[in-house]
Amino acid sequence: MSKDTFIFDLDGTLLDTLKDLASSTNFALRQCGMPEHSIDDIRQFVGNGVRKLIERAVPNGAENPQFEDVFESFRIHYLEHSLDTTCPYEGIPQLLTELKRQGCKMAVVSNKMMAATQELVAHFFPEIEVAIGENEQQGIKKKPAPDMVFEALKQLGVEKERALYVGDSDVDLLTAMNAGIPCASVLWGFRDRTFLMQHGAHLFVERPEELLRIR
């Protein structure tokens, strides 16, 4: 495998965002008098964008008459608190520095809100050239549609044959498949090996530095 372009997922792949996502979710639920969830619950809810996260957290989901209130409360709280405890996984900063030194191109594609995605990437990972979050108003569908990947490749100015997708979930596996590029599944994120294998994963990464050898 000879790849010089890396398309990274964000939550669960580059950043451990779980505590901040859980905090904002439970804050929004409290504001509307709804039951809160454990960290393990939230871990299972994430991966399909924040709207789906709140849909899974709210009793009766999007059918709940207070759903939009909870979502808006979450959105405001998370934009203000997305950096409270969020941090890169061990070894990620060193990996990105080395990939940059070797002349690789890098992008992030995330179902997180566009503003939060770009803020987090700019704050933690200045080596990454392109950051694309959820923004279907511009006609870019969220993952697992391949739109974000194609937009990232376009902005980087490279063909998909040069790219490797790196993620931690079934959504990432589907996104890579839909984009027609290979996917490396990391084992430090929100899903374990058994879950990933059940969803078709066959290339696994236990430590960030292994990506230097895979490519």
Residues acting as catalytic residues: 9
Q: What dihedral do alpha carbons 215, 193, 91, 123 form, nearest 10°?
A: 100
Distance from C-alpha of 100 to C-alpha of 163, rounded to nearest angstrom: 15
Between the alpha carbon of residue 79 and those of residues 49, 149, 204, the distances in Å are: 14, 24, 32
Strands of the chain (E only): list them. 5-8, 15-16, 87-88, 105-113, 130-134, 163-167, 183-186, 204-205
Local structure of 84: helix, strand or coil: coil
Local structure of 15: helix, strand or coil: strand
Q: Looking up tokens 């996104």, which residue turns up? A: 175
Which pair of structure tokens corresponds to residue 187? 């084992």
Are 22 and 1 a contacting pair, CB within 8 Å? no
Amino acid, single-letter form, for residue 12: G
State the sign of the Cα–Cα–Cα–Cα dihedral 31, 34, 36, 40.
Answer: negative
